[in-house]
Amino acid sequence: MVQMTINGKVVKATEGEMLLAVIRRQGIDVPALCDHAAVEPCGSCRMCLVEITREDWNGWKKYVTSCLYPSEDGLIVTTHTPELQEIRRNILDLYMARCPGSELIQKMGEEYGLTRTSFKTIPEGDNCIMCYACTRICEVLGRSAISAVRRGHAKVISGPFGDPPPDCIGCLSCAHICPTDVIEWHDQDGVRGIWGRTFDLIACQQCGKTIITRDFAEYLKEKRQIPADYFDICDDCKRVELARKMGGLVDQAKEVAS
Amino acid sequence: MRIDSIEKLEKWRKECRRTFEARKRKVIVCLGEGCLANGSEEVFNEFKKQVAEKKIADVTVESVAKTGCHGFCALGPLVIIEPDGTFYTKVGKSDVAKIVDKTLVGHELIDKLLYTDAKTGEKVADYAKIPFYARQQRISLRHCGTIDPHKITDYIAMGGYAALGKALTAMTPQQVIDEVTKSGLRGRGGAGFATGKKWATCAKVQSDIRYVICNGDEGDPGAFSDRTTMGSDPHSVLEGMIICAYAVGSHQGYIYVREEYPLAVVTLQKAIDAAREHGLLGEKILGTDLSFDIKISRGGGAFVCGESSALMRSVAGAVGEPRAKYIRSVIKGLHDRPTVLNNVETYATVPAIIERGADWFAGIGTKKSTGTKVFSLAGKIKNTGLVEVPMGITLREIIFDIGGGVPDGRKFKAVQTGGPSGGCLPESKIDLPVDFDTLTEAGSMMGSGGMVIMDDRTCMVEVARYFLSFLVSESCGKCVPCREGLYQLRELCAKVCDGEATEDDLALMERLAKTIQVGSLCGLGQSGPNPFLSTLLYFRDEYLAHIRDKKCPGGVCRKLITYSITDACTGCMACISVCPVHAITGEKKKRHVLDTNLCDRCGSCYAVCKFEAIEIS
Amino acid sequence: MMFRYTVNPALCTGCRTCELACAFTHTQEQKPGRSRIYPIAYGPDRFVPVTCLQCDDAACVKSCLFDALKRNETTGAIELDKDRCVNCRACVAACPFGCALIDDVHDEVVKCDLCGGSPACARFCPTKALVYKRIA
Amino acid sequence: MACDMAKIQEIIDRSPQTPGSLIAVLQDIQREFHYLPCEALQATAASLHVPLSKVFSVSTFYNAFSLNPRGERIIRICQGTACHIKGADLIQQQLTSGLGIKPGETSPDMKYTLEVVNCLGVCAMAPVVVVNDKIHGGVRCDKAFKLVTKD
């Protein structure tokens, strides 16, 4: 355990635990867009910058992304100085120019007093904030079907060659993790569409309800040894079946008893 | 032949020296990139041919030697006749016969090819007396231009690998680190971190594997000293790395060379092979317990890979995106192992420090920036090329005394130092002593020693826009302030250039610049606004001229200038043939006419006119 | 310490108190999400309260590629770490008993967590068809 | 486009079959073919056990790689600071209008590819144009077109 000061309050944390988690545990709201517990922190959105210093730094201080900075003994953390708020505001200002259609960005900007961007709206801008959450989650999943392509301002997230990604299994993890909901997908007539590809959804053999794609089920079967027939029936029908089975046993027991 | 002891090394050195000195008279042709670009390879081959044909008593084919870059690129191809030090400049293939006949056979000087002192107008025969060389003190560049980079024997003859021998046999690793620390050597890559301290930290981290990396990704436009060192004296880089490996306990090293330097890769690879063949790399170096090998890792053309964490990711085969350096790479670097990363010039300096001692090195330069520094002089300066001078020398001495000042009778306006991370310093700062700290205080930085000189025909706003464009195309795109911020800053800067910006825009630019500085993830972003901020600091009036008066004082920004043809026009047709939009019409020997409506103000006509008949207003 | 959660369908009257208790405990919002327990009729007036069995070698845990499902060693419950969950629904598809559920209201995966050691369903079950007790 | 798969595999097999070799392998392929054929990226991904998306990511991140076939003559205009100050823009303008292609493009007859590079480290000879690895220093804008098109 280490002891730190966050906004003047002494707090305890596990050594190495990232500052952002500790800060949030204190109920302090530090914004972060690219952070997600399921993926390694990457520090791309810069919103979670905090100011740190130490007693022995003689007044010297620096800004660090709290999602990436491990807790250490004696750290003095400040999360909401006017300078930090100014940086966050300017970053949101930049985001607003890039992602004019994102409700989330718009809402966050408003919290910092921004109604419209001070900069030139980027003509080819979409709502992608390039936080890499999608590519990181796909990597954790073990597929890495999509990746960041090109560099700098021209960077986009895409499948290889800009084509529908061959390694995609249609699990939707990327779409769900995306903070600005920019990854389009749809389920229709037993088919899921995402990244320009279509995937067969497994229809429940009893009621026809669909949950995941066949490719995803195959992948789970192979990677995690889940028996294939587990995916044949939907959760609703499985529960009914369980009730019927258990009920049958109860009835049997009753008969035996009587 | 494997050299497995110091004794053998010294014996071999004697042999090498004998061969090196056997040729009393030598014709040395510079084959550095600069001279190569001007055809020095043809000159070299022609010398071989002529000397072979003419059978001169004391000059054989072997006496025609090639070397790496000599530094004085402005006057290439360079030919030096030793032992007199006769220095011929701009030697063409057709000059070779004359040199052979007159100088080699007849011991006469050829005036036309000699260097002319800009101040006195006199011809200087001995290159040591040329101000460009006379003011220099070469440590890192000590062998550049004197040895054939492809011959390890040349390097050995000049005392090469003696420092390694000394370190391995007479010093403990700790003593090596202490010596480097005491020398005060600071990393030549830009930030100027104390080299000894870095080595000491790496050596202290508990780990079975440690890496030594040489950063040869000289990405700063305007800097070319590392290219020269790698291509002209590769063994001193290797020797520095091996000494470092011994000091910190590493078995594997990498040299990361940028893709744009194919010649350096070839030369380094040859050097590594030769060193390995002679037992100076590989298992049991010089018969001691040290085993260390070096691999070359070629870059892929990405400026951001000069940043240490990006470089290490690139060495590991991944996209060169930096990571937040809260755990320093010296503790957790390549493959998460402790890693020492220094740049080419730093490693090349190390053998000299070990050989001649820390006190000698610390006695050169200033107290906090010891030793010498190599500067690349380019842009609007007479003597373009490489110079190595003691730290603390003033910009004026470098630019005017050594560099010969601004050509074509124009006025000095600014010097850009430190590449895209640095800044532009105006004439008022020209007497600043150059070292790591003073440059940073003045709003620029040392960087890798690039100095691009600008004259009064340069627009400082346009220069800022240029650097921002460079950074926008080189940003990795990982974090927002750099990816989006530099882009917007560039757009705003372009708006100023176009005369469409307001003073509010300028305030927005300053606000944004600060956010980029503080908010960016790596050094590229953090220093990205420097070219803008430094030009704004010293040339705010130029920004205001664009904004308030819609004028470009440098006469560069297209939307704010017009071109016209004056009476000085002789009707030579040069401008007509070069105008890409066919805005100039006229006949031979008659004054030409420029249609301002068609003109897109590219300045091609201005560049080609030999009669100063094109006027910018 | 070890606990065991037992379901005795013979005592279940299908009163649905467990369902309400569950939904109320897990969502204090205006619109309650789905419950994690359902009394399902398998015949006239015969019910089985179906809920997660906290299996030993649980398919939901195995199917989660993001380690969002972990057993709480104190309560014995397999808990869903909402911060890590990305809603891919692998667990929903994989659970052989259909007990990893989709909350249709909030469009997210939910699962019985034994209320952190004091399951509301058992507490409120009037017939003791649901019992949670310490066994060691 | 038909591709010499055997050659590609031979190049890949020269390096250790680990993800760390990725950049080196791509460089070797690029050197051989002057660009990275799509099939080569797929073969590289399979041999080095790197996801195809990552191979694509790397090959688009670094300027050294080209995913399109390049012309017989690759012309690179240096846009380093010194070259910029000394009029690299004018050379670029002459070459784009002369060759009819923009930087990054290849002429339809596959003869010329025009590229812009951020400093080649030959700043002392600025402005610099490189034609198939041959460096030309002190290029004048009125001579640039002739320089790059002459045999």
For residue C66, give how far its alpha carbon lies from the nearest alpha carbon of chain A (Å). Answer: 6
Say how far apart CA A217 and CA B424 lie, in whole Å.
Answer: 60
For residue B445, give how far its alpha carbon lies from the nearest alpha carbon of chain A (Å). Answer: 20
What percent of chain C stands above pLDDT 90?
71
pLDDT band at C136 (very low <50, low <70, confident <90, very high): low
Higher pLDDT: D133 or B382? It is B382
Q: Does C3-134 carry CATH code 3.20.10.10?
A: no
Read out DSSP for C72-89? -TTT--EEE-TTT-----
pLDDT at B60: 87
CB B202 within 8 A of CB B339: yes
Best probe of the D interface among A149, A153, A169, by most D CBs < 10 A, is A149
Total beta-carbon pairs less than 8 A apart between chain A and chain B: 94
Q: The tokens of C102 are what?
A: 């989709």
A6 CB within 8 Å of a chain B CB: no
| Residue whose C-alpha is closest to residue B426's, from B535, B513, B546, B531 | B535
pLDDT at C134: 78
3-state secondary structure of C71: strand
Question: Domain locations in chain C?
Answer: 3-134
Which residue of chain D is at minimal alpha-carbon distance from B448? Answer: D121
| Burial class of residue D149 (count of CB atoms within 10 Å of its CB; 0-12, 13-18, 19+) | middle
Say how far apart CA D137 and CA D124 lie, in whole Å.
Answer: 8
B473 CB within 8 Å of a chain A CB: yes
- pLDDT tens digit string along A2-15? 999 999 999 999 99
Is chain C adjacent to chain B, meaning 3+ CB pairs within 8 angstroms? Answer: no
A155 CB within 8 Å of a chain B CB: yes
Pairing mode of beta strands B385-390, B412-417 = unpaired
Question: Domain locations in chain A?
Answer: 2-80, 133-237
Read out DSSP for A33-80? SS--TTS-----S-TTEEEEEEGGGTT--EEEETTTPBP-TTEEEES-
3-state secondary structure of B612: coil
A45 CB within 8 Å of a chain D CB: no
Best probe of the A interface among C6, C42, C51, C69, by most A CBs < 10 A, is C42
pLDDT at B62: 87
Residue type, B103: T
pLDDT at C104: 84
Q: Over chain D (151 residues), what is each successive 10-residue block's mean pLDDT?
A: 84 94 95 94 96 97 94 95 94 94 95 93 93 92 93 73
Say how far apart CA B608 and CA D94 lie, in whole Å.
Answer: 12
Q: The tokens of A249 are what?
A: 């046993």
Strand partners, A54: A75
- pLDDT tens digit string along B145-168? 999 999 999 999 999 999 999 999
Inter-chain residue contact A243 with C40, CB threshold 8 Å = yes
- DSSP 8-class letter at B205: S
Neighbours of B83 (CB within 10 A): 10
pLDDT at C31: 59
- Mean per-residue pLDDT for A18-28? 96
Pairing mode of beta strands A210-213, D129-131 = unpaired
From the list A120, A130, A148, the residue facing B488 with the nearest CB is A120
CB A40 within 8 A of CB A137: no
3-state secondary structure of B417: strand
Residue B545 reports pLDDT greater than 60:
yes
3-state secondary structure of D107: coil
Say how far apart CA D96 and CA D80 lie, in whole Å.
Answer: 18
pLDDT at C33: 63
- pLDDT tens digit string along B442-471? 999 998 899 999 999 999 999 999 999 999
- pLDDT tens digit string along A130-177? 999 999 999 999 999 999 999 999 999 999 999 999 999 999 999 999
B504 CB within 8 Å of a chain A CB: no
Inter-chain residue contact D52 with A167, CB threshold 8 Å = yes
Inter-chain residue contact A160 with D61, CB threshold 8 Å = no
A133 CB within 8 Å of a chain B CB: no
HEC string of C10-29?
Answer: HHCCCCCHHHHHHHHHHCCC
A148 CB within 8 Å of a chain B CB: yes
- pLDDT tens digit string along C7-46? 999 999 999 999 999 988 988 765 556 789 999 999 888 9
Question: What is the value of ipTM here, to two decimals?
Answer: 0.94
Q: Kind and range of the H or E element at B48? A: helix B40-54
pTM above 0.80, yes or no: yes
Q: Kind and range of the H or E element at B35? A: helix B33-37
Say how far apart CA D72 and CA D110 lie, in whole Å.
Answer: 6
Given the candidates 3.20.20.100, 3.10.20.740, 3.40.50.2300, 3.90.650.10, the CATH classification of the domain at A2-80 is: 3.10.20.740
Q: Kind and range of the H or E element at C35? A: none
For residue A43, give how far its alpha carbon lies from the nearest alpha carbon of chain B (Å). Answer: 7
D22 Cβ neighbours under 8 A, 6+ residues apart = B317, B318, D44, D48, D50, D54, D55, D58
A155 Cβ neighbours under 8 A, 6+ residues apart = A130, A148, A149, B477, B483
User: What are the structural domains of chain B?
Assistant: 20-129 (3.40.30.10), 152-179+187-349 (3.40.50.11540), 372-455 (3.10.20.600), 460-549 (1.20.1440.230), 562-616 (3.30.70.20)
Strand partners, A197: A194
Which residue of chain A is at minimal alpha-carbon distance from B517? Answer: A87
| Residue whose C-alpha is closest to residue D74's, from D48, D110, D41 | D110
Total beta-carbon pairs less than 8 A apart between chain A and chain D: 35
> Domain D73-149 has what CATH class?
alpha beta
Inter-chain residue contact A95 with B480, CB threshold 8 Å = yes
CB B412 within 8 A of CB B180: no
Residue type, D105: E
Contacting partners of chain C (3+ CB pairs under 8 A): A
Strand partners, B126: B86
| B67 φ/ψ angles, rounded to the nearest 5 degrees | -130, 175
From the list B224, B262, B580, the residue facing D122 with the nearest CB is B224
Inter-chain residue contact D51 with A147, CB threshold 8 Å = yes
Q: Which residue ranges does chain D devote to CATH 3.40.30.10?
A: 73-149
Best probe of the A interface among C86, C89, C103, C111, by most A CBs < 10 A, is C86
